Amino acid sequence: MKRSYMNPYLAGILLGIVLLTAMVVSGRGLGASGGYKYCVVSIVGAVDPPHVENSEYYSKYFENGKKPLTNWLTLEIFGVVAGGFISGAVSGRLKLKVEKSPKISVTRRLIFAFLGGVLFVYGGQLARGCTSGAALSGMAVLSLAGFVTMIAIFGSAYVFAWIFRKNWI
Amino acid sequence: MIIRKEFSVLLLLLSLILALLPLTANRSFTAKPDKLLSDVLNEDASFTVDQVAEFIIREDNTVQLIDLRSPEEFRKQAIPGAVNIPYPEFVTKDPEIWLGNKNVRNIFYSAGDIESDYALVYARGLGYDNSYVMAGGVTEWIRTVMETKFTGDRITARENALFETRRRAGEMFTELNSLPDSLKMKFLESKKFSAKKLDGGCE
Amino acid sequence: MAPLSSYFAFPEWLNMLTAFLIGIGFGFALEQAGFSSSRKLAGMFYGYDTTVIKVFFTAAIVALIGSQFLSYFGLLNLNQVYVNEFYVTASIVGGVIMGAGFIMGGFCPGTGLCAMSIGKIDAMAFVAGGFAGAFLFTETYPLIEGMANARYKGPVKINESLGLSPGLFTLILVAAAVAMFWIAELAEKKFARPEITNDLK
Amino acid sequence: MKFIKQYWLVLPLFMLAVILVLNRTFSQKNFRYDAVKWAEPSATGSNILTEDQIATLSGEILLISLGNEASIDRQFQGNTMNINPESILEKTNLMRIRKNNGPVILYSGDNSVSARVWMVLSEMGMKNIYILKKIPA
């Protein structure tokens, strides 16, 4: 059985309540790209400890016996995977597939998806937050950084959209 | 889609209320008035100068003395281990910086009584139940710890201990306050608070 | 009294548990909104599906209005809620890179994870790319450190820099969002692509 | 009718928000919003009076003697009340203070008690409250 998606405004209210809960319970917004980094940092820390010790950037995630895997953001993105799975199971949307425009090949879609992931998380780390960490959570606390990042993301995406239109329509 | 219209109207109405509110500050008392009143009028909210003297000589790190006088007065006569937060600054800034550590008992004192009592009610009202006062302030400190001498002909063991505490605390007080100004400032500055960095974002 | 984690001095395990539960809520809401579909997300940039704008602004505004009411009722201390630090150069450059990543990949980091969990293979490629991007960032950080920390302004609030009260700014933002919702629905009619959107229902 | 049918959910939510906000803004029984604003006279010291300054006040003066051994200067002209500090938040006492059309002066043999009561009353939104400072002998 396949059910259609929730009404966007209701889904928005639900997401807003989740964000508000994060603010009330933990005093912070949501985030995602940071979680990627903590995972990567802990993998690098396990694979190549000397590299971590010598790097100023890596070492700050391990000082005072901290473990990047038991971090708020890391646990939160594990939760996102679980929550998405629950929702998909409830609404009957669990299915292995590549979603793409019929005009492009599967390989092209996967390559672009990979490149998009590289750029998105790289940019997200540079701006200290992605669409959820900076734009969404930043707007909810009226942070100027959040508004600037949001405008930069959506503004440039509209420009690039014209270049990559073949991928989607 | 019909829901858009209702939802838009609701959001506009709610934000109209917000626009009319003076959302200037983020701090309001959260305690219940009757409970707060009976808490602050209770004797448990005050320490005597002798108790404070004992904390000082034991260098008890579960206690934080907070001096609410002006910086000039503080520079002239400081009780060892105290930090200076002038009272007007204390009420206008976010007290989380100073009182955030729940494992520490914060003891306020001022020149006499009044400011420390305001601060006690203010801090407890905002939910910092780890706040106390030193009754009588610096005036009482000087009168009791510094100036009371043993009188009479017989002394009990308890009195002896009390006088010994006062003598040692008094010595520490005199020692600190007779330091040259530059050294003393250095010592006092070393106990400054810095705002706790909030956790968040994606860093 | 809130944030609860600092008011009750949450132990580590409870913090981690709440993070996980909030993450579940986050993932659930994203998936229900349809953010697990890259063509639905990309639809915003071509006008045939504007779900993203609606959900995104609705969520931000609900949290904004809610937090201000809670603050007025003395239930939430906004001084203790994290406000993003503003590094001007990094915010803009990072935002532009993210914009390119968005249109190429079709996901953002949160929605990518969510789509991966329901079996989208393109989302798995996106997440793998995300890990590569994070690795690339940590390795190249010494090179871009200067740019990343340039023009630091601290945790500025937008209403303060405009000289408005938070409530008034919220009203303006809501008015703008309401207008945007209306335009978005007009755009959906104008740029409708039934062959795509029927697929995504 | 059509209007009500369309907005049946919006109106109650809005009314609820309005009622909660009004209750918060004008509450008689609870602390008011913005602790800093109500504590301001204590920071500037404008809430402290000496005995000579009482004469300069205008309006209906109410002098509240808080409990123990508070002996008031007999020359004082105006209303006086004796209230045990513990029971100042009882309904009748609060009514009396709020209804008084002029300055309310707190007096106690112990400055601490007046100062603590002052802060509680002020944060409940009462203005024009003063402390008569007892100068230690």
Q: DSSP readout, chain B? A: -HHHHHHHHHHHHHHHHHHHS-TT-S----S-HHHHHHHHHSGGGEE-HHHHHHHHHTT-TTEEEEE-S-HHHHHHS--TTEEE--HHHHHHS-THHHH--TTSEEEEE-SSSHHHHHHHHHHHHTT-TTEEEETTHHHHHIIIIIT----SS---HHHHHHHHHHHHHHHHHHHHHTS-HHHHHHHHHTT---PPPPP-TT-
Banded pLDDT at B6 (limits 50, 70, 90)? confident
* Chain D residues with beta carbon closer than 8 angstroms to that of B120: 116
- Alpha carbon of C154: minimum distance to chain A alpha carbons (Å): 9
Assess D24–C contact: CB distance below 8 Å, yes or no. Answer: yes
**Secondary element (H or E) of residue D131:** strand D129-132
**Secondary element (H or E) of residue D132:** strand D129-132
Q: Per the domain annotation, does D103 fall within a domain?
A: yes
* Location of structure tokens 């405009």: C162
The H helix count followed by the E strand count for chain D is 5, 5
CATH number, domain at D108? 3.40.250
Q: Per the domain annotation, does D45 fall within a domain?
A: yes
pLDDT tens for each residue of B100-147: 777 889 999 998 888 999 999 999 998 888 899 999 889 888 888 888
**Residue C181 to residue B8: CA distance in whole angstroms:** 9
Token duo for residue B106: 């914060």
What does each C-alpha distance from B94 to B21, D37, D79 come to in angstroms?
A: 21, 13, 39
Residue A33 has its nearest CB partner, among B199, B200, B202, at: B202
Spatial CA neighbour of B64 closest among B119, B22, B21, B6: B119
- Give the phi and the psi of residue B106 in degrees, each rounded to 5: -95, 125
* Chain B residues with beta carbon closer than 8 angstroms to that of C168: 19
- Alpha carbon of A136: minimum distance to chain C alpha carbons (Å): 6
Residue D89 has its nearest CB partner, among B2, B34, B91, at: B34
Q: What is the pLDDT of residue D3?
A: 76
Considering B24-33, C2-11, D15-24, the range whose residues carry the highest mean pLDDT is D15-24
**Residue D43 to residue D115: CA distance in whole angstroms:** 12
**Residue C113 to residue C145: CA distance in whole angstroms:** 28
Encode A76-102: b = buried (16+ Cβ within 10 Å), e = exposed.
Answer: bbbbbbbbbbbbbeebebeeeebbbbe
Residue B40, CB-side half-sphere exposure with 13 Å CA sphere: 32
Judging by DSSP bridges, how do beta strands C152-154 and C86-87 pair with one another?
A: antiparallel
Banded pLDDT at A48 (limits 50, 70, 90)? confident
Spatial contact of A5 and C33, defined as CB atoms under 8 Å apart: yes
What does each C-alpha distance from B123 to A158, B58, B133, D119 come to in angstroms?
A: 51, 26, 11, 11
pLDDT tens for each residue of A68-92: 888 899 999 999 999 999 999 998 8
Are C74 and D33 inside 8 Å of each other by CB?
Answer: yes
* Chain C residues with beta carbon closer than 8 angstroms to that of A112: 104-106
Hey, CA dihedral for D12, D14, D17, D22, is it positive or negative?
negative
- Alpha carbon of B7: minimum distance to chain A alpha carbons (Å): 8
Q: Per the domain annotation, does B17 fall within a domain?
A: no
Q: What is the pLDDT of residue C75?
A: 85
Q: Per the domain annotation, does D97 fall within a domain?
A: yes
Q: Do chains D and A touch (3 or more CB pairs under 8 A)?
A: no
Give the residue numbers spanning the domain of D111.
35-132
- Give the phi and the psi of residue C198 in degrees, each rounded to 5: -65, -35
* Amino acid, single-letter form, for residue B119: A
Assess D120–C contact: CB distance below 8 Å, yes or no. Answer: no
Burial class, C175, CB count within 10 angstroms (exposed 0-12 / middle 13-18 / buried 19+): middle
Banded pLDDT at A1 (limits 50, 70, 90)? very low
Assess A44–C contact: CB distance below 8 Å, yes or no. Answer: yes
Are D35 and B28 inside 8 Å of each other by CB?
Answer: yes
* Amino acid, single-letter form, for residue C167: G
Assess D91–B contact: CB distance below 8 Å, yes or no. Answer: no
Nearest-by-CA chain D residue for C75: D33
**Do you find a cis peptide bond into C3, omega within 30 degrees of 0?**
yes
Residue A3, CB-side half-sphere exposure with 13 Å CA sphere: 12
Judging by DSSP bridges, how do beta strands B131-134 and D104-107 pair with one another?
A: unpaired
Q: What is the pLDDT of residue B197?
A: 66
pLDDT above 70 covers a percentage of chain C that reads 98
The residue of B3, B11, B20 whose CB has the most chain C CBs within 10 angstroms, and thus the best one to mutate to test that interface, is B11
Find chains touching chain C: ≥3 CB pairs under 8 Å: A, B, D
Banded pLDDT at B192 (limits 50, 70, 90)? low
Spatial CA neighbour of A39 closest among A73, A76, A69: A69
Token duo for residue C159: 């209403």
Mean pLDDT lowest for which of A1-5, A158-162, B161-165, D107-111? A1-5
What does each C-alpha distance from B57 to B80, C19, C129 come to in angstroms?
A: 9, 44, 60
Distance of CA A68 to the CA centre of its chain: 17
What does each C-alpha distance from C122 to A82, C37, C112 come to in angstroms?
A: 18, 10, 9
Residue C185 has its nearest CB partner, among B1, B23, B30, at: B1
Nearest-by-CA chain C residue for A38: C134
Question: Coil, strand, or helix at residue C15?
Answer: helix
Residues D60-86 have a mean pLDDT of 73
Assess D90–B contact: CB distance below 8 Å, yes or no. Answer: no
**Residue C175 to residue C117: CA distance in whole angstroms:** 36
Question: What is the strand order of the sheet B131-134 is part of?
Answer: B46-47, B131-134, B105-109, B63-67, B82-84
Q: Per the domain annotation, does B69 fall within a domain?
A: yes
User: For residues B181 and B85, which has the higher predicted lDDT (pLDDT)?
Assistant: B85
pLDDT tens for each residue of C97-111: 999 999 999 999 999
Whether A34 has a pLDDT exceeding 80, the answer reads yes
Domain ranges for chain C: 34-194
Spatial CA neighbour of C160 closest among A141, B3, B106, B143: A141
Q: Say what the ipTM of the complex is.
A: 0.84
Nearest-by-CA chain D residue for C68: D21
What does each C-alpha distance from B192 to B101, B189, B199, C183, D115 come to in angstroms?
A: 14, 5, 21, 54, 28
Are B202 and A130 inside 8 Å of each other by CB?
Answer: yes
User: For residues D68 and C54, which has the higher predicted lDDT (pLDDT)?
Assistant: C54
Spatial CA neighbour of C188 closest among C76, C74, C37, C48: C48
B residues 169..198 contacting A (CB < 8 A):
198
Are B199 and A27 inside 8 Å of each other by CB?
Answer: yes
- Give the phi and the psi of residue D58 in degrees, each rounded to 5: -115, 160
When divided into structural domains, chain B yields a total of: 1
The residue of D33, D98, D131 whose CB has the most chain B CBs within 10 angstroms, and thus the best one to mutate to test that interface, is D33
pLDDT tens for each residue of D76-123: 667 788 888 888 888 888 888 888 888 898 888 888 889 999 999 999
CATH number, domain at B169? 3.40.250.10
Nearest-by-CA chain C residue for D22: C73
Are C74 and B30 inside 8 Å of each other by CB?
Answer: yes
* Chain A residues with beta carbon closer than 8 angstroms to that of C85: 128, 145
* Location of structure tokens 């996967």: A110
Assess B26–A contact: CB distance below 8 Å, yes or no. Answer: no
Spatial CA neighbour of B147 closest among B119, B118, B169, B125: B169
Find chains touching chain D: ≥3 CB pairs under 8 Å: B, C
Long-range pairs for C173-181: beta carbons < 8 A, 24 or more residues apart? C173/A139, C173/B15, C173/C61, C173/C64, C174/B11, C174/B12, C174/B15, C174/C61, C174/C65, C175/B12, C177/B11, C177/C57, C177/C58, C177/C61, C178/B8, C178/B11, C178/B12, C180/C53, C180/C57, C181/B4, C181/B8, C181/C53, C181/C54, C181/C57
- Alpha carbon of D25: minimum distance to chain B alpha carbons (Å): 9
When divided into structural domains, chain D yields a total of: 1
D residues 94..113 contacting B (CB < 8 A):
110-113
Q: What is the pLDDT of residue D77?
A: 64
Residues A121-137 have a mean pLDDT of 91
Give the residue numbers spanning the domain of B78.
33-188
